[in-house]
């Protein structure tokens, strides 16, 4: 009996580690440290090194892989897991003026894969799954009232929800997972539509700024096999019909986002030693440019508020800034010691935040 219990314990731990890596449900952060370090900046035509002041939010859990700024720029929201192998999701709200932790929100019985904040800053959605196999529903979405700091509604699903996004008018919430793509009405908190998903796994969802299109990205297979062929789809939000499939992603798609004017879709993913980062023309559904520079797959992308710069976060521990018009690589930020899982610009475009499983780094950007 003792041997059996140990075996079961080892199996459970191994299973969790595998599931966590496959789902890329990455953890939260806490604590603060200030550092002035040598941040290497690589520019086209040469390399230079200069001192750069950074703010580092140190992890107190198992990581801080998800983050987003509030629309007013006053709060940074980071998400992940607390301490412990089977810990559930933790979300932390940071005061940007002081970089002190303002509030901690805990997800009951769900790990955290993704989070999104509504355009008015009053609501937050978190998507995830159960950290260990149980008889309960495997996953779902929690809708939060940020003003009260409380859970408002919970939508249970039969699969972990890997990605969530609010429409720009704040009326619709989208969530994607394994064979799942759902649109919820935020006002009534009811399901608006369950879209028919011909491809198995959706890892990224994003609305266009005019609220007419929904872009989804993922893979043809269930597991996070880097050999899987990636897939990007465009959907009509009003009818729920698939409008187009953007062909050409040879490997898993992790992330995507529309430019502020809605004319460009940035898509990132790839396989081991085969990063893929592409800019698509939304109107004609054609690839505009493939951005070359990362050494490993892409985990996150974000446009600057003016749409002129694209930030990409990679498995190669770097964050890169790209000129959207020319497709040229501008600056490479180094300093992270593990894969960079998330990246975000502040609403004024002057601050860039990036997160790994260990730290969140805040960089002041010079104009």
The rounded percent of the chain whose pLDDT value lies above 90 is 59
The pLDDT confidence band at residue 129, using thresholds 50, 70 and 90, is: confident
Give me the pLDDT at residue 217, please: 95
Look at 34-38, 251-255, 319-323 and tell me which has the smallest mean pLDDT: 34-38
Give me the pLDDT at residue 44, please: 32
The dihedrals phi and psi of 22, each to the nearest 5 degrees, come to -70, -40
Closest CA to 317 of 297, 336, 345, 289: 336
Identify the residue with better confidence: 282 or 15. 282
pLDDT of 36 strictly over 80: no
Give me the pLDDT at residue 137, please: 53
How many Å apart are CA 282 and CA 352, to the nearest integer?
26
Give me the pLDDT at residue 131, please: 58
Contacts of 239 (CB under 8 A, 6+ apart): none
Is residue 267 within 8 A of residue 216, CB to CB? The reply is no
The rounded percent of the chain whose pLDDT value lies above 70 is 77
Give me the pLDDT at residue 200, please: 74
Query: Mind listing the pLDDT tens digit for each residue in 67-112?
Result: 999 999 999 999 887 665 566 788 999 999 999 999 999 887 778 8
Identify the residue with better confidence: 265 or 359. 265
Q: Which two tokens stand for residue 13?
A: 């731990």
Give me the pLDDT at residue 34, please: 31
Mean pLDDT of 161-175: 97
Give me the pLDDT at residue 133, please: 53
The pLDDT confidence band at residue 258, using thresholds 50, 70 and 90, is: very high
The pLDDT confidence band at residue 64, using thresholds 50, 70 and 90, is: low
The rounded mean pLDDT for the chain is 82
Q: How many CB atoms lie within 10 A of CB 190?
A: 10
Give me the pLDDT at residue 47, please: 25
The pLDDT confidence band at residue 354, using thresholds 50, 70 and 90, is: very high
Give me the pLDDT at residue 84, please: 59
Look at 135-144, 175-184, 352-361 and tell me which has the smallest mean pLDDT: 135-144
> What pTM was computed for the model?
0.84
Mean pLDDT of 155-167: 90
Look at 39-43, 136-140, 226-230, 246-250 and tell me which has the smallest mean pLDDT: 39-43
How many Å apart are CA 75 and CA 219, to the nearest integer?
33
Chain centre distance of CA 188: 26
The single residue listed with the structure tokens 């409380």 is: 150
Mean pLDDT of 307-321: 96
pLDDT of 285 strictly over 50: yes
Helix/strand/coil (H/E/C) assignment for every residue in the chain = CHHHHHHHHHHHHHHHHHHHHHHCCCCCCCCCEEEEEEEEEEECCEEEEEEEEEEEEECCCCCCCEEEECCCCCEEEEEEECCCCCCCEEEEEEECCCCEEEEEEECCCCCCCEEEECCCCCEEEEEEECCCCCCCCCEEEEEEECCCCEEEEEEEECCCEEEEEECCCCCEEEEEEECEEEEEECCCCEEEEECCCCCCEEEEEEECCCCCEEEEEEECCCCCCCCCCEEEEEEECCCCCEEEEECCCCCCEEEEEECCCCCEEEEEEEECCEEEEEEEECCCCEEEEECCCCCCCEEEEEECCCCCEEEEEECCCCEEEEECCCCCEEEEECCCCCCCCEEEECCCCCEEEEECCCEEEEEECCC
Give the CATH class of 197-334.
mainly beta
């Amino acid at each position: 009996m003792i041997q059996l219990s140990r075996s079961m314990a080892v199996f459970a731990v191994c299973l969790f580690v595998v599931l966590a890596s496959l789902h890329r449900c990455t953890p939260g952060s806490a604590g603060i440290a200030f550092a002035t370090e040598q941040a290497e900046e690589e520019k086209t035509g040469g390399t230079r090194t200069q001192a750069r002041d950074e703010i580092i939010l140190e992890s107190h859990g198992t990581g801080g892989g998800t983050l987003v700024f509030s629309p007013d720029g006053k709060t940074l929201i980071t998400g992940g897991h607390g301490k412990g192998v089977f810990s559930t999701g933790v979300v932390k709200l940071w005061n940007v003026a002081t970089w002190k932790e303002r509030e901690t929100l805990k997800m009951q019985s769900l790990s955290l894969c993704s989070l999104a904040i509504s355009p008015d800053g009053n609501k937050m959605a978190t998507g995830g799954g159960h950290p260990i196999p149980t008889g309960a529903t495997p996953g779902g979405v929690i809708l939060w009232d940020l003003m009260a700091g409380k859970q408002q509604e919970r939508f249970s699903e039969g699969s972990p929800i890997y990605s969530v996004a609010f429409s720009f008018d704040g009326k619709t919430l989208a969530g994607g997972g394994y064979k799942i793509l759902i649109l919820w009405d935020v006002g009534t908190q009811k399901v608006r539509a369950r879209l028919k998903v011909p491809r198995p796994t959706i890892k990224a969802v994003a609305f266009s700024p005019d609220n007419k299109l929904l872009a989804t990205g993922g893979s043809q297979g269930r597991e996070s096999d880097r050999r899987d062929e990636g897939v990007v789809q465009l959907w009509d939000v009003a009818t729920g019909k698939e409008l187009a499939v953007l062909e050409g992603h040879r490997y898993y798609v992790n992330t995507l986002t529309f430019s502020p004017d809605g004319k460009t879709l940035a898509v990132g993913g790839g396989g081991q030693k085969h990063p893929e980062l592409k800019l698509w023309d939304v109107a004609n559904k054609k690839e505009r440019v493939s951005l070359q520079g990362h050494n490993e797959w892409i985990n996150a992308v974000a446009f600057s508020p003016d749409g002129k710069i694209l930030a990409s976060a990679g498995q190669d521990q770097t964050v890169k800034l790209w000129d959207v018009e020319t497709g040229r690589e501008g600056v490479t930020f180094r300093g992270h010691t593990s894969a960079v899982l998330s990246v975000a610009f502040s609403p004024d475009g002057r601050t860039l935040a990036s997160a790994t499983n260990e730290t969140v780094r805040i960089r002041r950007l010079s104009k």
